[in-house]
A and B are shown apart, each in its own frame.
Chain A
Amino acid sequence: GQSLEQPSEVTAVEGAIVQINCTYQTSGFYGLSWYQQHDGGAPTFLSYNALDGLEETGRFSSFLSRSDSYGYLLLQELQMKDSASYFCAPKSNTGKLIFGQGTTLQVKP
């Protein structure tokens, strides 16, 4: 079976660091992706982890622990424009990606 958990909401202030966790149970797990979606917009790709460890892309980093079926997205130096929904999406060996319900991040001044 498949299950996916991430917090529904997170609030942080500008300039801070926030971590959005994701736990998953995915048959034939292959890797974990993260997406950002602003209100009314299309999801956009942020990062992908196929191997354990940390991947860094500018202010955003993503971590994966395959043995713990756990990953997180780390956002540093938060900006107001980072207010959005963030989705983790495990990829299975069949090639399909299943999305979680998303975490709404609100960045306050």
Chain B
Amino acid sequence: DADVTQTPRNRITKTGKRIMLECSQTKGHDRMYWYRQDPGLGLRLIYYSFDVKDINKGEISDGYSVSRQAQAKFSLSLESAIPNQTALYFCATSDFRQSGELFFGEGSRLTVL
């Protein structure tokens, strides 16, 4: 089983719908991240969390919200999806002792029509 699991892996939805992407990890890491990847734009940080009570905005948080339900779970929500949120979304984790190393999930491909 993967250490960082994202669900769903693929999702097609319509403009205006609410979507939740979920991430769970078995690595015991305290830090979790959500990134978005678009062709030619690399990975952009949406939100990150260093523990259950800590939530921080990244580079592109507008239109997104997150919830850290437990140390192992970090979900990303799009309250009202729009087509330009069509992208590949990655969840990642890290341990504060492992500088610079993120462990990524397999990604969730979201298409908003």
Residues of A within 8 A of B (CB): 30-33, 35, 41-45, 48, 50, 87, 89, 91, 94-102
Contacts and interface: CB of A to CB of B under 8 A. Distances in A.
Contacts of A102: 42
Contact of B100 (A41, A87, A91): A91
Nearest to A50: B99
Contacts of B42: 87, 99-102
Interface of B: 31, 33, 35, 40-45, 48, 50, 56, 58-59, 90, 96, 99-107
B44 A33 contact: no
Contacts, number: 59
Contact of B56 (A42, A96, A98, A101): A96
A94 B58 CA distance: 11
A47 B26 CA distance: 23
A38 to B, nearest CB: 12
Contacts of B58: 96
A8 to B, nearest CB: 8
Contact of A99 (B40, B43, B103, B107): B43
